[in-house]
């Protein structure tokens, strides 16, 4: 086809054509890093690197891909028209307050609702003064770690644990010691063993970070007897507990598990969130903490954001006051139960023998273990090619422990509808079968490319918040 092209003349072409004939300038002694800040970064930014795995999630945001990766709540189920009217009146009638700075501790009206309405549901009696409202419970994690952890301090967390918490701990240069879980959550004997082992090294954990109900990513819930045991161990060793409880109201049988905080008001910091029961886009969460901690949290929050969004807080407050929010929680439970069932049925009928998974009683996730020898991290590229995405298990372990997660993956069922979930599992099953064949051929499915040991334990191996 070239012969049909018209000849082209180009004003600066001559100058470009002469480039090759120009004498080569002498190369600089020091190369370019393409980032003038390269020598300016703090040590804590060292693990913040580009990730091959994260790049794959960029494809997961396309509609062709069934994403079982992200944990986006299905907010389309909210009565949006009716919420719009509530928000309209908020601006019309209380706009001057809603659009103004607020208190660093959070709006009083919302703290009263949290203390009077939400906390009793998980068995906790508290006063609005003990509540600090935060920019999602993610900021609460950040603030608590900021005031409790110096670089090198130890945090004990479940194995696996919430990746967003691991990112916070890494940012404050705390080391994480993982403690085993089983189908009933954190194993008390393993906790005692880990703490004893640390004590022999002369170290004491700054706190235990735990998600006792509808765990992310493990999908399991601790029975009450075990909660008592965990509290007793922590109390006997003098270890504070950071209880992360965003899914508490989303149990499928309607039972709201009793919070650890309910049985130890002094030793437990409780994190709550409106992100799963209402709207993550508003970024409203909270901490309930003993008074000394609470005062430091407020000062830390003011240094961080001055105050949480007053508009978001008043919007949540108005939603709780004016909308049938509890009925909506029941709608969400039913919706997520239906999706969980779709996931479990599809896994049972499609995934090859040797694959196992947890059966969640609430929340968003099931934790899947691949047949022996398979590696979920190196399998992800194949999965994305097959138009299905998940989060590889190693994302939920910190640092050197990442390898413990390589045979696992997290599947979330909160966002896609049941038919999409079934299609996603069908695609995943074909990927697992192909990977089994690779394993049979090579005797290993651990890829050398990409996120391998030595990769630095970057918490960037997970989808961004908006990638579902």
Stretch that binds other proteins, among 50-58, 246-254, 339-347, 352-360 (CB under 8 A): 50-58
Per the DSSP assignment, residues forming a β-bridge with 181 are 186
Provide the minimum distance between the beta carbon of 432 and other proteins in the complex, in angstroms, as a whole number: 13
Q: Which residues touch 382 (CB under 8 Å, ≥6 apart)?
A: 431, 434, 435
Size of the site for other proteins (CB under 8 A): 71
Q: Is 42 a binder of other proteins (CB under 8 A)?
A: no
- Report the site for other proteins in 388-427 (rule: CB under 8 A): none
Q: Is 43 a binder of other proteins (CB under 8 A)?
A: no
- Tell me whether residue 162 is exposed, middle or buried, using C-beta atoms within 10 angstroms of its C-beta: 0 to 12, 13 to 18, 19 or more: buried
Q: Is 358 a binder of other proteins (CB under 8 A)?
A: no
Provide the minimum distance between the beta carbon of 13 and other proteins in the complex, in angstroms, as a whole number: 4
Stretch that binds other proteins, among 58-66, 78-86, 176-184, 231-239 (CB under 8 A): 58-66
Residue placing its CB nearer to other proteins in the complex, 124 or 389: 389
Residue placing its CB nearer to other proteins in the complex, 326 or 442: 442
Provide the minimum distance between the beta carbon of 312 and other proteins in the complex, in angstroms, as a whole number: 29
Q: Which residues touch 152 (CB under 8 Å, ≥6 apart)?
A: 173, 174, 175
Q: Is 455 a binder of other proteins (CB under 8 A)?
A: yes
Angstrom CA distances, 140 to 45, 129, 172, 359, stand at 20, 16, 14, 29
Instruction: Output the six-digit token pair for 216.
Output: 């992310």
Cα angle vertex 273, ends 267, 275, to 5°?
160
Residue placing its CB nearer to other proteins in the complex, 37 or 101: 37
For residue 183, say if its preceding peptide bond is cis, omega within 30 degrees of 0.
no
Residue placing its CB nearer to other proteins in the complex, 301 or 438: 438
Which of 56, 83, 157, 395: binder of other proteins (CB under 8 A)?
56
Instruction: Output the six-digit token pair for 27.
Output: 């190369």
Q: Is 11 a binder of other proteins (CB under 8 A)?
A: yes
Is residue 212 a contact partner of residue 219, using CB atoms and an 8 Å limit? no
State phi, psi for 66 to the nearest 5 degrees. Answer: -80, 110
Q: Is 96 a binder of other proteins (CB under 8 A)?
A: no
Stretch that binds other proteins, among 20-28, 273-281, 351-359, 388-396 (CB under 8 A): 20-28
CA dist., res. 31 & res. 297, Å (int): 44
Residue placing its CB nearer to other proteins in the complex, 40 or 353: 40
**Which pairs from 188-191 meet CB under 8 Å and 24+ separation?**
188/226, 188/229, 188/230, 188/233, 191/156, 191/230, 191/233, 191/234
Residue placing its CB nearer to other proteins in the complex, 38 or 92: 38
Stretch that binds other proteins, among 17-25, 91-99, 184-192, 409-417 (CB under 8 A): 17-25
CA dist., res. 235 & res. 230, Å (int): 8
Stretch that binds other proteins, among 52-60, 245-253, 299-307, 388-396 (CB under 8 A): 52-60
Enter the DSSP assignment of 463: -
Q: Is 466 a binder of other proteins (CB under 8 A)?
A: no
Q: Is 50 a binder of other proteins (CB under 8 A)?
A: yes
State phi, psi for 11 to the nearest 5 degrees. Answer: -60, -40
Which of 79, 128, 265, 450: binder of other proteins (CB under 8 A)?
450
Computed on alpha carbons and rounded to an integer, the radius of gyration of the chain in Å comes to 25
Residues across the chain: 468
Q: Is 51 a binder of other proteins (CB under 8 A)?
A: yes
Provide the minimum distance between the beta carbon of 40 and other proteins in the complex, in angstroms, as a whole number: 10
Q: Is 304 helix (H, G, I), strand (E, B) or coil?
A: helix
State phi, psi for 391 to the nearest 5 degrees. Answer: -105, 120
Q: Is 430 a binder of other proteins (CB under 8 A)?
A: no
Provide the minimum distance between the beta carbon of 451 and other proteins in the complex, in angstroms, as a whole number: 9
Which of 34, 42, 92, 353: binder of other proteins (CB under 8 A)?
34
CA dist., res. 157 & res. 338, Å (int): 30
- Report the site for other proteins in 178-217 (rule: CB under 8 A): none
Residue placing its CB nearer to other proteins in the complex, 267 or 371: 371
Is residue 272 a contact partner of residue 285, using CB atoms and an 8 Å limit? yes
Residue placing its CB nearer to other proteins in the complex, 123 or 450: 450
- Report the site for other proteins in 361-380 (rule: CB under 8 A): 375, 378-380
The contact mask relative to other proteins for 146-175 (x = CB under 8 A, - = no) is: ------------------------------
Q: Is 9 a binder of other proteins (CB under 8 A)?
A: yes
Provide DSSP, 43-75: GGGTT----HHHHHHHHHTSTTSEE-S-----G
Neighbours of 216 (CB within 10 A): 26
Q: Is 362 helix (H, G, I), strand (E, B) or coil?
A: strand
CA dist., res. 321 & res. 16, Å (int): 69
Q: Is 437 a binder of other proteins (CB under 8 A)?
A: yes
Provide the minimum distance between the beta carbon of 427 and other proteins in the complex, in angstroms, as a whole number: 14
Provide the minimum distance between the beta carbon of 340 and other proteins in the complex, in angstroms, as a whole number: 28
Q: Is 322 a binder of other proteins (CB under 8 A)?
A: no
Residue placing its CB nearer to other proteins in the complex, 40 or 92: 40
């Amino acid at each position: 086809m070239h012969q049909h092209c018209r000849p082209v003349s180009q004003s600066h072409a001559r100058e470009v054509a002469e480039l090759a004939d120009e004498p080569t300038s002498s190369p600089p002694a020091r190369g370019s890093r393409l980032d003038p800040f390269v020598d300016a970064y703090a040590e804590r930014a060292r693990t913040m690197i580009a990730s091959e795995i994260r790049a794959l999630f960029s494809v997961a945001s396309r509609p062709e891909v069934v994403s079982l990766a992200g944990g986006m709540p299905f907010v389309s189920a909210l009565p949006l028209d009716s919420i719009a009217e509530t928000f309209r009146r908020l601006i019309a009638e209380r706009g001057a307050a809603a659009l103004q700075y607020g208190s660093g501790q959070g709006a009083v009206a919302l703290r009263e609702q949290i203390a009077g309405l939400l906390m009793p549901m998980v068995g906790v009696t508290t006063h609005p003064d003990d509540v600090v409202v935060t920019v999602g419970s993610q900021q609460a994690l950040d603030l608590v770690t900021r005031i409790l952890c110096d670089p090198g301090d130890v945090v004990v967390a479940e194995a696996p644990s919430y990746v967003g918490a691991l990112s916070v701990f890494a940012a404050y240069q705390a080391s994480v010691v993982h403690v085993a879980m089983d189908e009933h959550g954190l194993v008390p004997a393993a906790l005692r063993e880990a703490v004893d082992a640390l004590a022999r090294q002369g170290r004491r954990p700054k706190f235990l970070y735990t998600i006792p109900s509808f765990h992310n990513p493990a999908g399991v819930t601790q029975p009450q007897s075990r909660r008592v045991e965990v509290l007793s161990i922590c109390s006997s060793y003098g270890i504070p507990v950071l209880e992360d409880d965003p899914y508490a109201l989303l149990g499928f049988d309607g039972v709201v598990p009793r919070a650890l905080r309910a049985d130890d008001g002094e030793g437990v910091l409780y994190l709550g969130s409106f992100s799963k029961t209402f709207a993550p886009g508003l970024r409203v969460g909270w901490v309930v903490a003993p008074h000394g901690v609470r005062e430091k949290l407020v000062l830390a929050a003011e240094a961080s954001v001055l105050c949480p969004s007053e508009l978001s807080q008043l919007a949540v407050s108005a939603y709780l006051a004016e909308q049938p929010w509890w009925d909506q929680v029941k709608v969400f439970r039913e919706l997520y139960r239906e999706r969980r069932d779709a996931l479990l049925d599809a896994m049972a009928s499609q995934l090859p023998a040797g694959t196992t998974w947890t059966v969640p009683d609430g929340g968003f996730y099931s934790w899947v273990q691949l047949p022996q020898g398979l590696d979920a991290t190196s399998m992800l590229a194949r999965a994305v090619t097959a138009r299905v995405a998940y989060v590889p298990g190693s994302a939920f372990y910190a640092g050197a422990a990442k390898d413990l997660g390589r045979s696992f993956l997290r599947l979330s069922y909160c966002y896609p509808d049941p038919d999409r979930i079934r299609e996603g599992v069908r695609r995943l099953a074909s990927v697992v079968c192909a990977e089994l064949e690779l394993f049979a051929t090579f005797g290993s499915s651990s890829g050398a490319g990409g996120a391998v040991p030595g990769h630095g334990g970057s918490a960037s191996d997970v989808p961004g918040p908006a990638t579902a």
